[in-house]
Structure 1
Amino acid sequence: MTPQPRDDVDPTPWPAALICGAAGGLAALAAFPPYGMWMLLPVSLALLSAALLTRSGWVAALASLAWGVAFFVPLTAWANTYAGTAPWIALGVFEALFIVLFGLLARVVLVRRGLCPTSALVVSALWVGVETLRSHAPWGGLPWGASAFALGDSPLLNLGPWIGMAGLSFVVAFLGQMILHGALSLLGRRHRGLTGFAGVWPFALAVAAILATVVVPHPVNRAPVDRPTMTVAGIQGSMERIDPATMVMPDDVFENHLATTRTLIESTSLEGRQLDLIVWPEDSTGYDPRQDPWMADQLTAAAADAGAPVLIGTQAAVGESERLNQSVLYTSDGSTPYAYSKRHPVPFGEYIPSRDFFRTLSDKVDLVARDMIPGEEVGVMGMGELGVGEDSVGVLICFEIAYDNLVTDAVHSGAEVIVVQSNNALFGDSHEAIQQLAEAKVMAVVSGRSVVHVSTVGQSAIFTPEGRRLDFVGHWEQGAVLADVPLRTGITPAVAGGPWIAVGISALGLLGLLGALSGRRRALAPAPARRRPRS
């Protein structure tokens, strides 16, 4: 009788695989704000990989789905406030399908190649590839929950300006593979390579790698000659809570932001401080001031009294069924020399793709009465060209701060600082606001640009290119963030590499996958077939 070849790795029993999947998703959730236990993110990916080391592909798929649901459904709980329970759950499950895709691809590599350095590299690259796909498709994708956004308080973020979002994702995934290798060795489940107490080495290397990032320098990033900073104020006027049944902006939103602006102007005047720019949040006027002379006069007067232009957020109707989400600059002479239209409207939140089809699934789609259409121009205000200053200011609206390609576009178009206008009131008391603020901090470091993030109801903050917070206003508070914001003109390696970093890493994963498919070696032997009893 021919002896069966021994597995390189003891397979994970199906109950344990499902438990690892669900536990890994919850660990990933704990890595993100507001919990902030970023060190659990590689642990969560190690648990996911352990769940994939099962003999059944179906079990691996279910475990991956469990990981994705346990992570994405609670992470996107803010969607329940805006869209209702059914669309929220549908969003979470849809995002979880990307984890199933990763799980099936990664399982091929792990099962065929076993636990070795090359399989760890390929699996980590596949994680980047699937996360990049999820962040950009379909309908422009949703990068919410991208690995890098858990690293706002991690020393790993020091790598951000060097390797970008995709590089950070790869590092996290590779740390997860090291944890997996070490844990299986210490548990006695490995029979080749590192076994027994040799499993301490992957843990030691993972810890050493993290500690080494503490001293990683920030890339040299030049400041404009003779004007290293600009004085920016962000106004968080707050408002009454939005009725989720109608999603209509409260009547007090304009008055609150105007009053907060007036208070700011008085305090800076007493201090003898000269403002360069005042930023209001997204939808902070409630109605388009260009269609209301009284509102326009109030903004013009505020700009004149402050000696600085005011950038507001509003909506503009286009025809009978469409609209633009815009940032509009008001100056002291009453002109509006600049307007930016949001380039990346949010599907199902700001416009409904395939409206007739999705109406059959939920009548909630008709709450979005006018579909938002995308703008075409990159949001960069050349203040010198507009006659209101000397600096170039990048402009993004709300969720756009989560898209690294939009941030990179602004930097390449000359932005020396980036402002983000947001209306987090749409999501009530959920964790959306703090999650988005963490995204702003990460993008500040990756892009090498200060980020002024301003919300109607919070959270608002100003971050330097190194990630240091200069000012902050909490959730549902009324106030202003104010700072002499550092300007930068240099390009970080992450911005210079742009999408090619993600493309290159993803290509590595694809090539490694193809190599695994063409190989013959298997780390897990096929399950023995059951013999039928003789009749």
Structure 2
Amino acid sequence: MTATAAAAGSRRRAPRPRDEFDPTPWPLALLCGAAGGGCALLAFPPYDLWMLLPVGIALLGAGLLVRSALLAMLVSLLWGLALFIPLTQWASTYAGAAPWIALGVFEALYIVVFGLLARTVMVRRGLCLSSAIVVSALWVGIETLRSSIPWGGLPWGASAFALAESPLLNLGPWIGLAGLAFVVALLGQLLLFGALALLGRRRRGFTGFSGVWPFAIAVAAVLATVVAPHPMNRAPSDRPSMTIAAIQGSMGAIDPVSYTMPEDVFPNHLEVTEDAITRAQQDGTALDLIVWPEDSTGWDPRQDPQLAQQLTSAAQEAHAPLLIGTQVRVGENERLNQSVLFTPEQTTPYAYSKRHPVPFGEYIPLRGFFSQLTDKVDLVSVDMVPGQEPGVMDLGALGQGQGKVGILICFEVAYEPLVHDVVDGGAEVIVVQSNNALFGDSDEAIQQLAQAKVMAVTSGRSVVHISTVGQSAIFSPEGRQIDFVGHWEQGALVADVPLRAGITPAVAAGPWVAIGLGAVGAVGWIAALTGDRRALARPTPRRRRRGD
């Protein structure tokens, strides 16, 4: 073998440099965790500083670049607590401080799991494009898990719900909630790469002023979404819109002990309904459907002839069916949360039962166990049981005009599979009936309204989101706000609501975007485990002093 060949073979066998970045000092890492969670919080309503969500994820990544896995766990926990405890403050309104804090801590544990997985990838693979993709996919996987497990999960705080006022939402009809989460996390990784380079913390790849490039790519990607085309989403050929009146009657304060609905909820909604009908008739507007919110009639008005007659009379006056929200007893210890249609013909031909009751809010899972921990479970004395069928109401088949209306109740609007179910079932518009009165003056109402807007865009359907006390609004399939009523106000949303019959790519893909990205994250993490690289730089030894 010649000397030249031997040298070439030696070069081929030489390992690549393994040190890519300096570890983050522990005080700074903890600060990154707390500050990153705070940035993420400010991305959600009522602040709507959506651009801070990638910044928050970048700070989390910086805090994970430490030598100790235990320290990385603490950084992740701080990040999760800084986001979820204030974000879910609304839970304390009826449940008290202890359950609220427990909920925030539980949600933060998912961030701890993500932090450990992401740290493994970044430390073993280094900061490169492949690791950025894997870490972003892991973010999607953990967010999907948090939105699904346990007891159906809680999507509150999902990345996409911070994008209601962002141009990134234009990608929603194409890639859905999981795709939006991936984009946000990838932007966060780019910001992390750029910041480490500019701060001189990187040894390879983008270093020094070359770190400007990741920032430039991130900004350019966001600007490009401003002109992202919307999928062609055709209207039904025979009816491009439906005239809907959604009624926000408001009410007095809920009893802080029994949490029963005040007696004025029904008469308030009836009064606003009559006013809306009168104005519509004066304007020459023919209503196709009137919608009341969740819990707007208390217990089932079909069992109360007087209430039923008042609802029927309103429908007869409007020459349009009336969809109300009510509670229906099932035996002694269970109930259904239902939407019931009252027609001018004195019939109730359709009812939808809420499919996803909220654990600890509408029913108590493992009641015997949790009753040993807190007496707060007694606030939910009658457990809600789930319905079985998606809420798709075909008005034509019911002899009540034309149009297929998808129905979701309150928190169901946050669950992408439930939204997809009604669209797949033929819904041309989606109605969300909600009761936000239990959450007082908290930010729950405006956060839920942002979820409705995001789901309108991703599903390609107009969303009529109507609450007992607000905030209520109608959104077009493109996310345009058509009408609005504020918090604790009385009023009616009346509009020609656009109908759609096409399917967006996000709905067509269903859960496969989340499954695919989650699989990429899992495979990438396993591949990182099998490697022997370490991207953290070794500590620089101190120079020996003279005389040592």
State the TM-score, normalized to the length of structure 2.
Answer: 0.95
Note the C-alpha offset of 1:7: 3.1
In structure 2, what residue type is equivalent to 1:181?
A: F
**Displacement of 1:226 after TM fit?**
2.1
CA distance in 2, matches of 1:73, 1:176: 22
Q: State the match for 1:194 in structure 2.
A: 206
Q: Residue 522 in 1 paired to residue 548 in 2? A: no
Distance 2:258 2:511 in 1: 39
Q: State the SS of the aligned residue for 2:229.
A: coil
The match for 2:376 is 364
Q: 2:120 aligns with which of 108, 131, 143?
A: 108
Q: Tell me the residue number matched to 2:68.
A: 56
What is the alpha-carbon distance in structure 1 between the residues aligned to residue 62 and residue 247 of structure 2? 48
Local SS of the residue matching 1:390:
coil
Q: Are 1:26 and 2:38 an aligned pair?
A: yes
Q: Distance in 2 between matches of 1:157 and 1:6?
A: 38
The equivalences for 1:120-519 within 5 A come to 120-519=132-531
Query: Does the 8 A contact of 1:309 with 1:388 survive in 2?
Result: yes
Corresponding position of 1:43: 55
**Cα root mean square deviation, aligned:** 1.2
Contact 1:81–1:244 (8 Å) recurs in 2: no
Structure 2 residue aligned with 1:532: none
After superposition, give the CA deviation of every residue in 1:128-158 in whole Å (9 maximum; x if it has no partner).
Answer: 0000000010000000000000000100000
Counterpart residue identity of residue 201, structure 2: R
Structure 2 residue ranges without an equivalent (≥5) = 1-16, 542-548
Shift in Å, 1:287:
2.5
Counterpart in the other structure of 1:92: 104
The CA distance in 1 between the partners of 2:479 and 2:509, in whole Å, is: 20
Rounded Cα–Cα distance in structure 2 between residues aligned with 1:113 and 1:244: 54
Deviates most, 394-403 or 358-367: 358-367
User: Do structure 1's residue 15 and structure 2's residue 22 form an aligned pair?
Assistant: no
Read off the aligned partner of 2:484 and give its amino acid letter: F
The letter for the 2-side match of 1:199 is G
Question: Shift in Å at residue 526 of structure 1?
Answer: 6.6
1:207 offset after TM fit, Å?
0.3
Q: Helix, strand or coil for the counterpart of 2:171?
A: helix
- Which whole-Å CA distance do the structure 2 matches of 1:196 and 1:527 have between them? 20
Letter in 1 for 2:107: E
Q: CA deviation at 1:244?
A: 2.5
Q: Secondary structure at the match of 1:396?
A: strand
What SS does the corresponding residue of 2:48 show, helix, strand or coil?
A: coil
Structure 2 CA distance for aligned equivalents of residues 33 and 245 of structure 1: 29
Aligned residues between the structures: 526
Paired with 1:310 and 1:391, the residues of 2 have a C-alpha distance of 14
Runs of 4+ in 1 over 6 A off after TM superposition: 526-529
Q: In the alignment, residue 90 of structure 1 is paired with which amino acid?
A: A
Secondary structure (helix, strand or coil) at the match of 1:215 reads coil
- The answer to whether the 8 Å contact 2:65/2:119 transfers is yes
The structure having more radius of gyration, on CA atoms, is 2
Q: For each residue in 1:201-223, what CA deviation from the matched residue of structure 2 results, as whole angstroms up to 9, or x when unmatched?
A: 00000000000000001000010
Alignment check: 8 A CA contact 1:242 1:426 kept:
yes
Shift of residue 506 of structure 1?
Answer: 0.5
What does residue 533 of structure 1 align with?
Answer: none
Q: Deviations over 1:260-281 (max 9, x none)?
A: 0000011001111000000000
- Contact 1:68/1:95 (8 A) holds in 2: yes
Unaligned residue ranges in structure 1 (runs of 5+): 530-535
Amino acid at match of 2:320: A
Tell which deviates more after alignment, 280-289 or 64-73. 280-289
Q: Is the 8 A contact 1:55 1:526 kept in 2?
A: no
Query: Deviation string for 1:306-332 (max 9, x for gaps)?
Result: 011000000000001000000000000
Q: Distance in 2 between matches of 1:187 and 1:12?
A: 12
Is the 8 Å Cα contact of residues 55 and 527 (structure 1) preserved in structure 2? no
- Secondary structure in structure 2 of the residue aligned to 1:241: coil
Q: Distance in 2 between matches of 1:6 and 1:436?
A: 46
Secondary structure of 2:155's counterpart equals coil
Per-residue CA deviation, residues 1-40 of structure 1 (Å, 9 max, x unaligned), is xxxx873101011111111000000000000000000000
Aligned-partner Cα distance in 2 for 1:501–1:274: 41
Superposition deviation, residue 480 in structure 1: 0.5
**Contact 2:23 2:537 (8 Å CA) reproduced:** no
Distance 1:245 1:200 in 2: 57
1:528 offset after TM fit, Å?
A: 9.9
Matched AA of 1:136: S
Contact 1:383 1:393 in 2 (8 A): yes
Q: For 2:82, which of 50, 58, 70 is the aligned residue?
A: 70
